[in-house]
Structure 1
Amino acid sequence: MSTTSPSPMPATLADLVQRLDQARQTGVREMGDATGTVPVGHYNDPVHWQREQEALFAQWPVVAAHSAELPAGSALPFDALGVPIVLTRSADGRARAFFNVCRHRGMALIAAGGPQPAQAKTCRSLVCPYHGWAYELDGRLRHRLHAESFDGLDPATLNLVELPCDEAGGLIFVKRTPGPAFSAAAFLQGLDAHMDWMGLTGMKVFRKVDHVYPANWKLTVDAFLEGYHIRVLHRDTIYPFFADAFTVNLHAGPHQDSLVARRAAFEAFEPPSSCAELCRLATPTQFVFPNTFLIWHPDYVSLIGMFSPAVDQVRWVHTMLIPPDRTGEDWTPHWEKTFRLIEQTVFQQEDIATAVAIQRGLSSGANAGLHAGRLEHELLRFHRGIDAAVEGSLSPAGNPTPARTKRTCKEGKAIESQKKL
């Protein structure tokens, strides 16, 4: 990552850095106001899972890809939301999303699935492999084989079914349900300024994995929302680089930006003027509600989507993003080694393995709920957001809506810096 930044650090991010410095100087960790308990049913109840599917994954914008994954003149299949979707970028540069379904007989236009993660396919149009119907990358029907045989079918009604899609901060968002357009920048409520300053848009894709594990999706989200576990779970891998549970959090509606202090911050603290300098002091982590993380390591970024194919399954999609000036063949061995360390060791053998073990333990009936202390307050905030979205009192815009129950959500303001919940 660049050692210089062309613009000043956003004020909200600078405030977060200042709070980290204060915690470092005083030795006082920022905590929540109270402990809490998450009911076990939130992780293993099929009824609750179905409500999440209907209220969250069917209605909220979800990160489908990094912008670099979809070059102009290409199409990328995306099925992690449980329906077949194809992302396209036509010559006008705009990212679009459609159901990956031919309007003739319902065939998939571009293949998804397979042993390797999906990659964009360079193409001028989407051509159905069944009968050859073709569509422009903007969704318009382009060609029907033997069109004269379709008497009474108006071709203007046979364009692809478009889905709401927008792009901001280097991320492509999509909703899986047709409806009105939305603004990705407005949805991020200020976090896109952080992403832009840190250079996310210019990053390139090095490697991507896409696996399903036997654990509820929220168990993996939980792990990434608190630094309390690093000292024990990651004792022999990454804890030697981190201070013990010194984390500051900034709220942006239902989203957040966090700085997890590294030991280097306690050795020498200079106000950072670039992303590289910031990543020397801490690991910035952006959480895009409901299921996406950006983790800024010292010289690369992990973009992680945690999807929910079943109540006891998480679909883990991890994309390693690297700086554009470090993409040559000389860098390949370094990135291969780095990716194996973070994905196969830290994530798979520690974080994901823990989530799988917890899921097995839930079936024992030993616990009616999972407890969280004041160092795990962001985990509790996440679950309050899930509850509010499911109950209808939190909208995808991040603003409160008229509640259908007595529960209300207090996290619907624009981006703000908070020391307590």
Structure 2
Amino acid sequence: MSTHKVDRRQRIGDVAEIMLDYVEHKTTYQAQTTARVRTASYTDPDQWKAEMELIFRRVPLMLGFTAEMPHPGDFKAMEAMGLPVLISRDKSGQVRAFLNVCSHRGAPVAAEGRGNCARFTCKYHGWTYAQDGKLIGLSEAATFGDVDKAGLALRALPCEERGGMIFVCLTPNAPMDLDHYFQGFLEDFEAVDFANWAYLGSRVIEGANWKIAFDGYLEGYHFASLHPNTIEPRTPSNRTFYEGFGPSMRIGFPQHRIAEALKDIPRDQWGDQENNGFDFVRILFPNVSAFLAPEITQVAQLFPGPTPDKNRTVLHYLRRDPIRDDADRESAEGMMNFFRDVTYQEDYVIGMEIQKGLESGAHDNLTFGRNERGNQYFHEWLNWYLQDDPTLPEPVM
């Protein structure tokens, strides 16, 4: 075991001890001060457009899971930020990403969804591309005329597979350095062997401005009032710990039973007790929230738009073990529907009410408390990308 991994276990154990203290003394992580965010940040079309160009088109976006496409020939075609994206695992096992656009006349070369194939064929005129994006065939080539096949490949996007996730930058030829961007955070996913988990399926929900929706994933201050029968029985309200990894975060949530769960476990083993007395929500900036749990994992992937007042969220579900039989599948489908319904009915519905409230002009600013450091941190990084300010936000812990 590397020193780095020992440090990670030690760190999680230290965080567990802090969260135990939070529950016993009814306190939480405290920022240095409160912070204000303009309500226009959630309604202004110009800021929304800037977020698309300066953040979503430039940073690494988690667009897929290893478990979605584990085999050579597997592919996933999707829309991301209004762009048609094709992710393909070639015959050598390498994952690649492209704009899903034929170089002939611009039609898609793969239908939206997942599948497995040896080549991609445009349905408009039958041009054919290999798994690595190279143009390999023209229908009735003798009548078409001379073309430079090498120069007519699918337009590649920067792509890298790490920790069981597939990251893509939506700008061709843009630099992408995951180690610099995530500051060691992906080791959390590598440590639980996330690449070998089973992909169960997904659900789609729609809501308000993407930041209104995302703000709800960043704090536990609302658990008692908004989730009294679903989350609060497990997790006390307003007992939260924050750690920053570049613009991403690991948010710690103790359970009510943390003292009982850890009392007979040696202190040096607390770093192995995630989901036994405490949980983490892992935030991948700018738009992913992952709650890794043994029964079922929910990974929320928020996409802004199609207008500033809306978002489309894909809720992905994974677990360590594959589906065993029809009864197990039925049970898993029920759990996915339950988590989808809770997320939509309890979080996204009030988010749409918040959108109306902000658009009313009732207040010029929103205030994030000292206990809502995760929201503060998110908006600080958001503004940093929008302003291209060389001064980085103040780190959390």
The TM-score with structure 2 as length reference comes to 0.92
For 2:251 and 2:233, the matched residues in 1 are separated by: 20
Aligned amino acid, residue 189 of structure 1: Q
Aligned amino acid, residue 265 of structure 1: I
> 2:279 matched to which residue of 1?
283
Q: Identify which of 187, 199, 210 aligns with 2:193.
A: 199
Offset at residue 80 of structure 1 (A): 2.4
Contact 2:59-2:176 within 8 A present in 1 as well: no
Deviation string 1:300-341 (CA, Å, 9 cap, x unpaired) is 211111111221111111001112255443422332232222
SS at match of 1:375: coil
For 1:274 and 1:158, the matched residues in 2 are separated by: 55
> 2:243 matched to which residue of 1?
250
Q: Identify which of 302, 312, 317 aligns with 2:314.
A: 317
CA 1:91–1:274: 2 relative to 1, 3 Å: farther
> 2:261 matched to which residue of 1?
268
Q: Identify which of 167, 171, 175 aligns with 1:173.
A: 167
> 2:150 matched to which residue of 1?
156
Residues 66-215 of structure 1: pairs in structure 2 closer than 5 A: 66-71=65-70, 72-112=72-112, 118=113, 120-213=114-207, 215=208
For 1:217 and 1:248, the matched residues in 2 are separated by: 23
Unpaired runs of 5+ residues, structure 1, are: 1-6, 113-117, 394-402
SS at match of 1:108: coil
Offset at residue 274 of structure 1 (A): 8.8
SS at match of 1:319: strand
Deviation string 1:260-310 (CA, Å, 9 cap, x unpaired) is 111120333235859983112122111000111111235221111111122
Is 286-295 or 14-23 further displaced after alignment? 14-23
Offset at residue 199 of structure 1 (A): 3.1
SS at match of 2:239: strand
Is 146-155 or 257-266 further displaced after alignment? 146-155
For 1:110 and 1:216, the matched residues in 2 are separated by: 30
> 1:341 matched to which residue of 2?
338
For 1:289 and 1:12, the matched residues in 2 are separated by: 21
Aligned residues: 387
Offset at residue 185 of structure 1 (A): 4.0
CA 1:274–1:19: 2 relative to 1, 3 Å: closer
> 1:29 matched to which residue of 2?
28
Residues 356-371 of structure 1: pairs in structure 2 closer than 5 A: 356-371=352-367
Is 370-379 or 319-328 further displaced after alignment? 319-328
Offset at residue 378 of structure 1 (A): 1.1
Aligned amino acid, residue 91 of structure 1: K
Deviation string 1:167-205 (CA, Å, 9 cap, x unpaired) is 111111111110145243443211111111123222211
CA 1:382–1:301: 2 relative to 1, 3 Å: same
Contact 1:168-1:185 within 8 A present in 2 as well: no
Is 159-168 or 278-287 further displaced after alignment? 278-287
Unpaired runs of 5+ residues, structure 2, are: none
CA 1:231–1:22: 2 relative to 1, 3 Å: same
Aligned amino acid, residue 223 of structure 1: G
Contact 1:169-1:185 within 8 A present in 2 as well: no
CA 1:367–1:327: 2 relative to 1, 3 Å: farther
Contact 1:16-1:250 within 8 A present in 2 as well: no
For 1:149 and 1:157, the matched residues in 2 are separated by: 19
**Is 1:42 aligned to residue 41 of structure 2?**
yes
**Is 1:226 aligned to residue 225 of structure 2?**
no
SS at match of 1:126: strand
SS at match of 2:252: strand
Offset at residue 411 of structure 1 (A): 4.5
For 1:194 and 1:376, the matched residues in 2 are separated by: 23
For 1:274 and 1:77, the matched residues in 2 are separated by: 41
The TM-score with structure 1 as length reference comes to 0.87
Offset at residue 153 of structure 1 (A): 2.2
For 1:100 and 1:85, the matched residues in 2 are separated by: 5
